[in-house]
């Protein structure tokens, strides 16, 4: 065999070995790593005492490469350190974490550096849950604890970044400290809203909680909700502290004003004013209609720009107003008004679960001056039926005629049926209303035991969290007829001072928010079924009229102001 052929064979053999080694396959490997990272070393050591107050950094070493995930949402130092320590590395894997301090620490203080669930191994993502590193600048580790839960029964959206905090009560303490200083101890609530404050020093404290949406470990009343325990607390007891978040009352203040549509202005305030007035001072504005619900932060001002004569002829006039509240009057910055903006009159039907006993409601995008029954026609199938027109709020009215199951209705609004404050009338409108059969609905009766003596609002919610009914009364039994099949729940708000308004808390006055009870579960309503439920409240305040019949008990809803909605109709199906 020639040397050339031998070299060729050697090359083929080498290539086949290379490709054989490079052939893809599934490596056998070992079992998947399910273990969380382990702390091997800490400098200073964990639970170290007499740590110098001028310490510059802490080093933590783990048994594998770790990464800090969602670090800013998890990391918390208690007591807080100003400025915040710098933790490295973030965003890259490492076996070591370094915490750098940029200021001297307090003497005789136990510090807890809480990493939450931010530490996880780099490969499998196994978390080291609720890891804390603790040391003391004194000669012992403070070991007292305090635990509790934060509730938020009236918040529509589940709050994030819930913080429980302690402020030390000493000679320098004032109630205003919560608005100015960071707390002495802090802890984050877990996913069940339970908090545990650890490594506490004995003493007197005020216990508060807030959702730290502005991540500065301070309570910001304009954007955050608040809770507090009404008495001074001392760590070390076995008591579990329950706190209820509420939206704090803030001082009255004008915010801004703007044009929304043609002849429609909005004035925004803070402080939930009960009464408020607006007056034009730059133009002779006529036919104004002012809508402000008590305790609302928004006032809507309607007017007819064509009824102002020659005083509103500019294309973009500057409208000037004053507001008056609590005996004080002030000027509002001029509103640049677009006099060429045009908004047509629109009519809407309310999305309600119409059943016998309900009234057909229609609303407009502007306040209405007149509703003329002579230009409205209601038919059941092909027969005309009689009806009445009831004016409700400024822009809403209802047609009162008997509704029957398994029936179809046609409502026609001919031109000039309604006229708004701009003196515009509607175009011809045809509306259809179909009432389902009785077998497609269910009925629900709720009986409440141990009901407080004060009046209450009973609120019914569907499975989407939409409020369907809000009934203000002294009743102990409630009947909801013709509900759409679905899942429902309740809340009971206690009007403890009987002022016909739910009152939140006040930290400075040490007033807790009025009590709210949440129904412990849900009620399933099925088609053509009657359901009766009994709700036993856990309270020591028992109503004195539990033995009265529903007919004998006084329904205080009759005494509410006209603007307050006593019973909300169903807005949409529960599911």
C-alpha 208/C-alpha 187 separation (Å) is: 11
Average pLDDT, integer, range 390-400: 93
If asked whether residues 429 and 444 sit together in one domain, one would say no
If asked whether residues 448 and 429 sit together in one domain, one would say no
Let me know if residue 496 belongs to a domain. Answer: yes
Let me know if residue 34 belongs to a domain. Answer: no
Let me know if residue 283 belongs to a domain. Answer: yes
DSSP 148-208: EEEE-TT-SS--SSEEEEEEE-STT--TTHHHHS--SEEEE--TTSEEEEEEEPSS-EEEE
- DSSP character for 410? E
Answer with the one of 200, 215, 244 that is the final residue of a domain: 244
Give the tens place of pLDDT for each residue, 164-174: 999 999 999 99
Let me know if residue 5 belongs to a domain. Answer: no
What is the predicted pLDDT for the residue at 8? 52
The CATH number for 466's domain is: 2.60.40.1120
What is the predicted pLDDT for the residue at 98? 96
Q: How many domains does the chain have?
A: 5
Task: Please say whether the beta carbons of 166 and 181 come within 8 A.
Answer: no
If asked whether residues 238 and 155 sit together in one domain, one would say yes
The range of the structural domain enclosing residue 418 comes to 347-436
DSSP 472-527: EES-SEEEEEEEPSEEEEEEEEE-TT-SSS----BTTTTBPPPPEEE-SS-EEE-T
C-alpha 67/C-alpha 123 separation (Å) is: 9
If asked whether residues 454 and 490 sit together in one domain, one would say yes
Give the tens place of pLDDT for each residue, 445-466: 999 999 999 999 999 999 999 9
What is the predicted pLDDT for the residue at 371? 97
What is the predicted pLDDT for the residue at 22? 45
If asked whether residues 432 and 450 sit together in one domain, one would say no
pTM of the model: 0.78
What is the predicted pLDDT for the residue at 215? 82
Residue 24, CA atoms < 13 Å, CB-side half-sphere:
0
Let me know if residue 116 belongs to a domain. Answer: yes
Answer with the one of 288, 313, 336 that is the final residue of a domain: 336
If asked whether residues 445 and 535 sit together in one domain, one would say yes
If asked whether residues 443 and 553 sit together in one domain, one would say yes
Give the tens place of pLDDT for each residue, 116-156: 889 999 988 899 988 999 999 999 999 999 999 999 998 88
If asked whether residues 448 and 554 sit together in one domain, one would say yes
C-alpha 473/C-alpha 495 separation (Å) is: 10
Let me know if residue 571 belongs to a domain. Answer: no
Average pLDDT, integer, range 283-292: 85
Q: Which of 556, 569, 563, 564 lies closest to 456 in space, CA to CA?
A: 556
Average pLDDT, integer, range 465-492: 96
What is the predicted pLDDT for the residue at 86? 94
Q: List CB contacts of 252: < 8 A, sequence separation 6 or more.
A: 269, 270, 271, 273, 325, 326
The CATH number for 92's domain is: 2.60.40.1220
If asked whether residues 432 and 451 sit together in one domain, one would say no
If asked whether residues 456 and 538 sit together in one domain, one would say yes
If asked whether residues 465 and 549 sit together in one domain, one would say yes
What is the predicted pLDDT for the residue at 559? 30
Answer with the one of 336, 356, 383 that is the final residue of a domain: 336
- Mean pLDDT of the residues in the chain: 87
12: left (phi over 0), alpha (psi -120 to 50) or beta: alpha
DSSP 441-472: -EEEEEEEES--SS-EEEEEEETT--EEEEEE
Task: Please say whether the beta carbons of 245 and 151 come within 8 A.
Answer: yes
If asked whether residues 459 and 530 sit together in one domain, one would say yes
Let me know if residue 143 belongs to a domain. Answer: no
The CATH number for 314's domain is: 2.60.40
Q: How confident is the model at residue 9 (pLDDT cuts 50, 70, 90)?
A: very low
What is the predicted pLDDT for the residue at 403? 96
> Poorest-confidence range of 39-43, 220-224, 501-505, 557-561?
557-561
Let me know if residue 464 belongs to a domain. Answer: yes
Give the tens place of pLDDT for each residue, 225-250: 999 999 999 998 889 999 999 999 88
Q: How confident is the model at residue 290 (pLDDT cuts 50, 70, 90)?
A: very high
Average pLDDT, integer, range 327-342: 94
Task: Please say whether the beta carbons of 152 and 159 come within 8 A.
Answer: yes
């Amino acid at each position: 065999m020639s040397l050339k052929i031998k070299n060729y064979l050697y090359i083929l053999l080498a290539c086949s070995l290379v490709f054989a080694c490079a052939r893809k396959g599934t490596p056998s490997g070992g079992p998947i790593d399910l273990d969380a990272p382990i702390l091997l070393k800490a400098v200073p050591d964990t639970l170290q005492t007499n740590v110098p107050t001028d310490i510059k950094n802490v080093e933590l070493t783990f048994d594998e490469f770790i990464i800090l995930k969602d670090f800013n949402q998890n990391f918390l130092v208690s007591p807080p350190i100003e400025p915040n320590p710098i933790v490295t590395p973030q965003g890259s894997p490492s076996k070591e974490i370094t915490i750098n301090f940029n200021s001297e620490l307090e003497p005789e203080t136990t510090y807890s550096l809480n990493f939450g669930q931010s530490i996880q191994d780099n490969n499998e993502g196994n978390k080291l849950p609720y890891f804390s590193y603790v040391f003391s600048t004194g000669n012992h580790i403070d070991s007292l604890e305090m635990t509790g839960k934060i509730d938020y029964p009236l918040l529509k959206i589940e709050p994030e970044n819930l913080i429980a905090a302690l402020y030390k009560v000493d000679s320098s303490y004032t109630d205003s400290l919560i608005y100015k200083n960071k707390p002495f101890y802090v802890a984050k609530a877990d996913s069940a809203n339970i908090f545990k404050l650890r490594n506490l020093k004995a003493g007197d404290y005020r216990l508060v909680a807030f959702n730290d949406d502005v991540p500065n470990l301070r309570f910001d009343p304009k954007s955050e909700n608040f809770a507090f325990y009404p008495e001074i607390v001392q760590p070390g007891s076995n008591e579990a502290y329950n706190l209820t978040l509420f939206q704090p009352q803030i001082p009255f203040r004008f915010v801004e004003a703007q044009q929304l549509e043609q002849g429609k202005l909005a004035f925004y305030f803070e402080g939930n004013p009960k009464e408020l007035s607006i007056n034009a001072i730059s133009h002779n504005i006529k036919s104004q209609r002012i809508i402000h619900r008590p305790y609302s932060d928004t006032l809507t001002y309607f007017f007819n720009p064509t009824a102002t004569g020659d005083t509103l002829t500019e294309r973009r006039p500057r409208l000037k107003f004053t507001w008056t509240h609590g005996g004080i009057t002030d000027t509002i910055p001029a509103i640049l008004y677009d006099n060429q903006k045009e908004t047509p009159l629109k009519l809407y039907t309310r999305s309600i679960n119409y059943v016998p006993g309900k009234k057909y409601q229609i609303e407009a995008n502007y306040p209405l001056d007149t509703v003329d029954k002579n230009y409205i026609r209601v038919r059941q199938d092909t027969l005309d039926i009689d009806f009445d027109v009831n004016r409700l709020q400024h822009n809403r009215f209802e047609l009162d005629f008997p509704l029957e199951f398994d029936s179809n209705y046609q409502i026609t609004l001919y031109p000039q049926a309604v006229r708004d404050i701009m003196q515009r009338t509607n175009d011809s409108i045809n509306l259809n209303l179909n009432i389902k059969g009785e077998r497609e609905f269910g009925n629900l009766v709720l009986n409440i035991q141990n009901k407080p003596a004060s009046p209450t609002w009973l609120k019914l919610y569907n499975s989407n969290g939409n409020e369907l009914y809000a009934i203000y009364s002294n009743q102990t039994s409630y009947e909801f007829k013709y509900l759409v099949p679905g899942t429902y729940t309740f809340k009971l708000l206690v009007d403890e001072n009987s002022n016909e308004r739910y009152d939140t808390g006040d930290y400075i006055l040490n007033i807790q928010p009025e009590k709210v009870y949440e129904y412990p579960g849900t009620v399933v309503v099925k088609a053509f079924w009657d359901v009766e439920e009994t709700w036993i409240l856990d309270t020591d305040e028992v109503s004195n009229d539990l033995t009265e019949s529903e007919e004998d008990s006084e329904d205080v809803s009759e005494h509410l102001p006209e603007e307050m909605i006593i019973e909300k109709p169903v807005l949409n199906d529960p599911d």
